[in-house]
């Protein structure tokens, strides 16, 4: 039953990485086997990065690496050396929700929320590349993410709304329904 408490004795090899996370320059020692998702969550405290399957199907861990959506559970932290990482924590601007976040809220495109950061980041990549996606574009853009609670209809609506908001430059504060949202 018992084992000697030898905590700290073991030494695993590490490598130094330097990267930008949500605009902040970061250097860290990481084990080569550590996943980017674990590094972001455990070493950087970015718990908006969710881990749902660790084999690349669910997409809950999606972050942007140099602007492209990657599954951080299938990426080693050492592979992120020299890149720019964006997570959901970097979206809200001084407390005001990003138009994508606001649109997911308004369209009730989340329930338990475990998949939500992944969907939001995948949506960001989609809209960065294609500001006016049609339903087929959305289907293709979000096919790597799974939502188990909400279904997908409200997510389509949220992406369309976000595209409209980004086009018109409408922000959280401009939103006429904001009072109701503050419930």
Partner 1 sequence: MSSRPDAETGPESDPDAETGDEARFAGRGLNRVEDRRILTGEAEYVHDEAPDDALHMALVRSMHAHADIESIDTEAAENHPGCHLVLTAEDVKADYNPMPTGLHGFEEWSLADGKARYVGEPVAAVVADDRYVAEDVVDLVSVEYETREAVVDPREARENEVVVHEDVGTNVGDHEELSFGDPEEAFEEADNVIESSYSWGRISGVPLETAGVVADYDRDADAFDIDCNIQLHTLVDDTVYETLGYDPDDVNLEVPPDVGGSFGTKIALHRYCSLAAMASKAVDRPVAFVEDRIENLQGGDMHSTQREYDVKLAVDDDGTFRGLDFWFVDDFGAWPRYPVNQVLKPLSVLTNAYDVQDARYEYDLVLTNKTCQTAYRGFGVPAHLYALEMVVDEAAAELEMDPDELRRRNLVESDQMPYELPSKNVYDSGDFPAALAHVQEKIEDERDGGLLDPETVAEKREEGKYRGARPTVHIEPGVSGSDWTNRQRSDRDELDERDREDVAELPEHLRAEIREDGTVRAYLATDSSGQGHQTLVTQLLADELGVLPSDVDVSYLDSVEAPTEYGTAASRMAVMLSGAAQGLGETLAANLETLAAEVWDCDEADVTYRDGGVHRVDADGSLSLAELADADDDGDLTRASYDYEHPATRLEEFDEALARKFPVYPTAAFAANAPIVEVDANTGEVEILKLYSLRDCGTQLNPTIVEGQAHGGLAQGVGAALQEEFGYDDSGQPQAITLFDYRLPSIENVPEMELDHTETPSPFTATGAKGTGEGGMIDGPASIACSINAALEPLGVKADRIPFTPNRVRERIREREGE
Find the binding residues for partner 1 in span 3-32 (CB under 8 A): 3-10, 31
Place of tokens 């964006």: 86
The string of DSSP codes covering 81-114 is TT-EEE-GGGTSBTTBPPHHHHHHHHTT--SS-T
Of residues 48-67, those binding partner 1 (CB under 8 A):
48-55, 57-58, 60
Return all residues near 90 (Cβ < 8 A) that are at least 6 apart: 21, 22, 23
Strands of 84-86's sheet in order across: 24-30, 15-21, 84-86, 62-65, 68-71
**Least CB distance to partner 1 at residue 27 (A):** 21
Q: Does 171 bind partner 1 (CB under 8 A)?
A: no
Nearer to partner 1, 3 or 173 (CB): 3
Q: Does 43 bind partner 1 (CB under 8 A)?
A: no
Q: Does 137 bind partner 1 (CB under 8 A)?
A: no
Contacting range for partner 1; rule: CB under 8 A; set: 64-72, 77-85, 139-147, 162-170:
139-147
**Least CB distance to partner 1 at residue 146 (A):** 5
Distances (CA, A) of 102 to 78, 165, 168: 33, 9, 14
Of residues 97-136, those binding partner 1 (CB under 8 A):
97, 101, 104-108, 110-117, 120, 135
- Which 8-state DSSP code applies to residue 52? S
């Amino acid at each position: 039953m018992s084992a000697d408490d030898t905590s700290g004795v073991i030494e695993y090899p590490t490598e130094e990485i330097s990267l930008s996370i949500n605009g902040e320059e970061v250097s860290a020692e990481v084990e080569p086997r550590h996943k980017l998702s674990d590094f972001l969550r455990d070493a950087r405290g970015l718990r908006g990065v969710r881990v749902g399957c660790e084999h690349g199907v669910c997409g809950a861990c999606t972050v942007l690496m140099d602007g492209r959506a990657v599954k951080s559970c299938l990426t080693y932290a050492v592979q992120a050396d020299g890149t720019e990482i964006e997570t959901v924590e970097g979206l809200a601007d001084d407390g005001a929700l990003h138009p994508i976040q606001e649109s997911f809220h308004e369209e009730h495109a989340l329930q338990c929320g475990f998949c939500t950061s992944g969907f939001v980041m995948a949506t960001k990549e989609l809209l960065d590349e294609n500001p006016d996606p049609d339903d087929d574009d959305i289907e293709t853009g979000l096919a790597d993410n799974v939502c188990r609670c909400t279904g997908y209809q409200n997510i389509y609506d949220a992406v369309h709304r976000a595209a409209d908001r980004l086009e018109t430059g409408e922000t959280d504060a401009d939103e006429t329904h904001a009072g109701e949202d503050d419930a």
